């Protein structure tokens, strides 16, 4: 990073304390960060505290936050009823060393919203949930091969984390046994004929996908594809796993599966499911989950885990899902996301800058500096307009994306990559202000001759 543009100079000037702490962090953490997605150039802002839709960094800068806990926070940061539930539980015990009523209530809250969840097994993260889903599928089918879709993300376990490009654009297969990689077949998300031919070999334990399209819908997936995958897996004895770690309880109360009317065999959940605390679950057909039961004898699938169904995650998850069922936070977040998408498209049009924004439920995606059609209504991805189903989308050129992110941060907005996870506590005024700041960031990019 040369640090020569005005955007970069402002970034350094506004974030001196973050820069100092980021430098120190490099001596403690590999690369100075604790999650690949937190890698930022020239350094990431260091956050001090967060409430509602906002957060503050160690330099005292305030942000409207759209990272929202990597999508875990449908209710914003530290929502009062989640604070209350967790605080009460801390005093009543953070680990019961046995079964608890809390986990039963949490599971019932999931089942209330997700009819395919005939049985539930809690894990500590989304990664663990996909790991267990694949293990259950392999045990049930007696097959080892797994079919996944290119660029779809299912956490970092070896079963699903394929060699390929990370979001930071690097090849990341080191340390992953070739034997595991060889069990994975990867197809473009629209290559239904290729998938059909592979499944016809009857070698596959399962097909796993983000039913929204890859990276929480960064490249949308035509709903006809999951429908076709449902039929193909049924015909060939493979199982269908929906990874709804991001979309569960966000895309609709019952996730993408409810919206498109496809019932997968297994579903993986985390993030909102655990009320924004660490936690996940694999849920689905009772006969598949029951392989974990001790009644399965020698055929059982093992599943320990110190923090499975942790009480703090259980109370937060139960409270969040009760609110999803009874208060409809999803509609509010969706309305705000639509408002944001419309405003971003308007700003692009006014600035005469190529790109577009669109929203799927409360997930907003932005492409910048590319010649792409904008949604007619400013919000909805239009399949006809974009030539039908696509397997990849033009992405923002990386120099544009990095500079834009820095400029947006300078103006007090933090995104998740090139997208926004909107919560039900973002107000209309927050969204209007975000759109104004977007216009200001675009002007900075123009001034610095980046766009």
Ligand X SMILES: Cc1ncc(COP(=O)(O)O)c(C=O)c1O
Q: Which is nearer to ligand X, 278 or 354 (CB)?
A: 278
Q: Is 219 in the site for ligand X (CB under 6 A)?
A: no
Q: Which stretch binds ligand X (CB under 6 A): 82-90, 151-159, 230-238, 294-302?
A: 151-159
The token pair that represents 236 in the structure block: 């060939």
Q: How far is the CB of 126 from ligand X (least distance, A)?
A: 2
Q: Which residues, at least 6 apart from 225, have a Cβ–Cβ distance to it below 8 Å?
A: 189, 190, 192, 389
Find the residue with minimal CB distance to ligand X.
126
Q: Is 255 in the site for ligand X (CB under 6 A)?
A: no
- Here's the x/- map for ligand X, 108-147, by CB under 6 A: it reads as -----------------xxx--x-----------------
Interface positions, 272-301, toward ligand X (CB under 6 A):
280
Helices (H), 116-223: 126-141, 178-181, 192-199, 214-217
- Pairing of β 363-368 and β 355-360: antiparallel
One residue of 154, 336, 374, 411 binding ligand X per CB under 6 A: 154
Q: How far is the CB of 241 from ligand X (least distance, A)?
A: 11
Tell me the site size for ligand X, rule CB under 6 A. Answer: 14
What are all long-range contacts of 283-286, with beta carbons under 8 Å and residues at least 24 apart? 283/110, 283/111, 283/114, 283/116, 283/117, 283/118, 283/119, 283/120, 283/121, 284/116, 284/117, 284/118, 284/119, 284/133, 285/116, 285/118, 285/119, 286/118, 286/119
Q: Is 243 in the site for ligand X (CB under 6 A)?
A: yes
Q: How far is the CB of 216 from ligand X (least distance, A)?
A: 6
Q: Is 210 in the site for ligand X (CB under 6 A)?
A: yes
- CA-to-CA dists, residue 446 to 283, 406, 451, angstroms: 48, 14, 5
Q: Is 153 in the site for ligand X (CB under 6 A)?
A: yes
Q: Is 360 in the site for ligand X (CB under 6 A)?
A: no
Q: Is the dihedral of CA 399, 1, 365, 255 positive or negative?
A: positive
Q: Which is nearer to ligand X, 64 or 274 (CB)?
A: 274
Q: How far is the CB of 311 from ligand X (least distance, A)?
A: 18
- Here's the x/- map for ligand X, 64-103, by CB under 6 A: it reads as ------x---------------------------------
One residue of 246, 312, 344, 441 binding ligand X per CB under 6 A: 246
Q: Which is nearer to ligand X, 216 or 438 (CB)?
A: 216
Q: Which is nearer to ligand X, 133 or 288 (CB)?
A: 133
DSSP 67: S
Q: Which residues, at least 6 apart from 216, have a Cβ–Cβ distance to it below 8 Å?
A: 71, 210, 246, 247, 363, 419
Q: Which stretch binds ligand X (CB under 6 A): 15-23, 239-247, 386-394, 398-406?
A: 239-247
**Which strand (E) or helix (H) includes residue 187?**
strand 184-187
Q: How far is the CB of 196 from ligand X (least distance, A)?
A: 24
Q: How far is the CB of 282 from ligand X (least distance, A)?
A: 11
- Pairing of β 184-187 and β 204-209: unpaired
The token pair that represents 105 in the structure block: 């209530």
Q: Which stretch binds ligand X (CB under 6 A): 79-87, 169-177, 243-251, 283-291?
A: 243-251
Q: Which is nearer to ligand X, 210 or 318 (CB)?
A: 210
SS3 119: strand
Q: Which is nearer to ligand X, 245 or 400 (CB)?
A: 245
Q: Is 148 in the site for ligand X (CB under 6 A)?
A: no
**CA–CA dist 86, 78 (Å, integer):** 10
Instruction: Return the C-alpha torsion angle 258, 262, 263, 264, nearest 10.
Output: -110
Q: Which is nearer to ligand X, 258 or 430 (CB)?
A: 258
SS3 63: strand
Q: How far is the CB of 317 from ligand X (least distance, A)?
A: 13
Q: Which is nearer to ligand X, 30 or 299 (CB)?
A: 30
Q: How far is the CB of 390 from ligand X (least distance, A)?
A: 19
- Pairing of β 145-149 and β 204-209: parallel
Q: Is 155 in the site for ligand X (CB under 6 A)?
A: yes
CB 292 within 8 A of CB 301: yes
Q: Is 239 in the site for ligand X (CB under 6 A)?
A: no
Q: How far is the CB of 148 from ligand X (least distance, A)?
A: 11
**CA–CA dist 401, 386 (Å, integer):** 22
Q: Rule CB under 6 A: which residues touch ligand X? A: 70, 125-127, 130, 153-155, 210, 243, 245-246, 270, 280
């Amino acid at each position: 990073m040369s640090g020569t543009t005005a955007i970069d100079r402002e970034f350094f000037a506004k974030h001196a304390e973050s820069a100092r702490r980021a430098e120190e962090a490099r001596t403690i953490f590999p690369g100075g960060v604790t999650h690949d997605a937190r890698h930022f150039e020239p350094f990431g802002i260091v956050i001090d505290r967060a409430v509602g839709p906002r957060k503050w960094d160690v330099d005292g800068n305030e942000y409207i936050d759209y990272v929202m806990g990597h999508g875990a926070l449908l209710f914003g940061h530290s929502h009062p009823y989640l604070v209350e539930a967790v605080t009460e539980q801390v005093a009543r015990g953070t680990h019961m060393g046995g079964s608890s009523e809390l986990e039963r209530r949490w599971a019932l809250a999931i089942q209330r919203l997700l009819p395919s969840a005939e049985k539930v097994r809690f894990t500590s993260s989304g990664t663990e949930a996909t790991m267990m889903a694949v293990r259950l599928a392999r045990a049930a089918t007696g097959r080892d091969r797994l079919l996944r879709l290119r660029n779809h993300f299912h956490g970092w376990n070896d079963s699903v984390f394929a060699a390929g490009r990370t979001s930071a654009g690097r090849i990341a297969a080191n340390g992953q046994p070739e034997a595991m990689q060889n069990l994975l077949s990867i197809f473009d998300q629209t290559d239904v004929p290729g998938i059909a031919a592979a499944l016809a070999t009857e070698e596959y334990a399962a097909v796993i996908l983000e039913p929204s399209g890859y990276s929480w819908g960064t490249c949308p997936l035509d709903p006809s594809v999951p429908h076709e995958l449902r039929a193909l897996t049924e015909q060939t004895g493979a199982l269908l796993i929906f990874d709804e770690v991001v979309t569960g309880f966000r895309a609709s109360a019952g996730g993408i599966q409810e919206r498109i009317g496809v019932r997968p065999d297994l579903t993986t959940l985390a993030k909102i499911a655990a009320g924004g605390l660490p936690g996940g679950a694999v849920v689905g057909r009772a006969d598949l989950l029951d392989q974990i039961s001790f009644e399965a004898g020698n055929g059982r699938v093992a599943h320990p885990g110190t923090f499975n169904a942790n009480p703090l995650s259980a109370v937060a998850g139960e409270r969040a899902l009760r609110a999803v069922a009874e208060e409809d936070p999803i509609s509010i977040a969706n309305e705000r996301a639509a408002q944001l998408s419309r405003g971003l498209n308007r700003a692009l049009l006014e600035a005469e800058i190529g790109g577009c924004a669109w929203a799927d439920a409360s997930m907003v995606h932005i492409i910048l500096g590319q010649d792409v059609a904008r949604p007619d209504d400013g919000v909805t991805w239009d399949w006809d307009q974009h030539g039908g189903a696509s397997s990849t989308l033009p992405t923002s050129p990386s120099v544009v994306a990095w500079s834009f992110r820095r400029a947006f941060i300078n103006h007090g907005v933090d995104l998740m990559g090139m997208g926004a996870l909107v919560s039900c506590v973002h107000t209309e005024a927050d969204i209007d202000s975000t759109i104004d700041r977007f216009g200001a960031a675009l002007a900075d990019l123009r001034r610095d001759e980046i766009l």
